[in-house]
Amino acid sequence: MAKIKYIEFSGKEHVVEVKTGMSVMEGAVKNLIPGIDADCGGACACATCHVYVDKAWLEKLEPMQEMEKTMLDFAEGLESNSRLSCQIKVSDALDGLVVRTPKSQH
């Protein structure tokens, strides 16, 4: 279980508890947080669950797999802290994680 803070492009914040084993994307969908569409449902096939991870958290995440890296490379508004939220698995270690959603997904 981890408390995750999602910040919408507008600045609106949502803090929710997400179960271990779920993805950061699923945490958003389950809690009705706008800005994370996840059309493909987490198959790493659509790049519509793009988030910016708070810099302090970046290296605490599991490193990206090749597929995520290359999908992101073509996402709108790519930054050095971009991730696909469907590929970030939630664990206790992520308690306090902060992610922001990009403008293009609103």
Partner 1 sequence: MSESVVIVGAGQAAAQTVASLRAEGFAGAITVIGDEPYLPYQRPPLSKAYLAGELALDRLFIKPREFYDDAKCTLILDTTVTRIDRELHRVETHDNRSIAYDALVLATGSRVRHLTTNGEDLPGVRYLRGIADVEAMQSYLKPGVKLVIIGAGYIGLEVAAVAKKRGLTVTVLEMAPRVMARTVSEQLSAFYEAEHRKAGVVIHTGTRVDKIGVVDGTSFVVETSAGRVPADIVIAGVGILPNMELAEAAGLKVANGIVVDEFTRTSDPKIYAVGDCADLPCAHSVTNRARLESVQNAIDQAKHAAAAICGKPKPYTEVPWFWSDQYDLKLQIAGLSGPQDQLVLRGDPAARSFAVFRLRAAAIVAVEAVNAAPEYMMGRRLIAARAKVAPERLADRAVPMKEMGG
Q: Which residues bind partner 1 (CB under 8 A)?
A: 22, 26, 29-30, 32, 39-41, 43-47, 67, 70-71, 73-74
Four-point Cα dihedral 39, 19, 4, 74, nearest 10: -30
Helix H segments across the chain? 24-30, 66-72
CA-based nearest residue to 89, from 12, 13, 2 = 2
3 or 106: CB nearest partner 1: 106
What is the smallest separation between the CB atom of 36 and partner 1, expressed in angstroms?
Answer: 12
CB of 56 to partner 1, least distance (A): 28
Q: Give CA–CA dist 30/96, Å, rounded.
A: 18
Minimum distance from residue 46 beta carbon to partner 1 (Å): 8
The pair of structure tokens assigned to 69 is 């890296």
Cα(3)–Cα(17) distance, rounded to whole angstroms? 4
Closer to partner 1 by Cβ: residue 15 or 43: 43
Task: Select 17 or 60, whichever has its Cβ closest to partner 1.
Answer: 17
Minimum gap (Å) between residue 67 Cβ and partner 1: 6
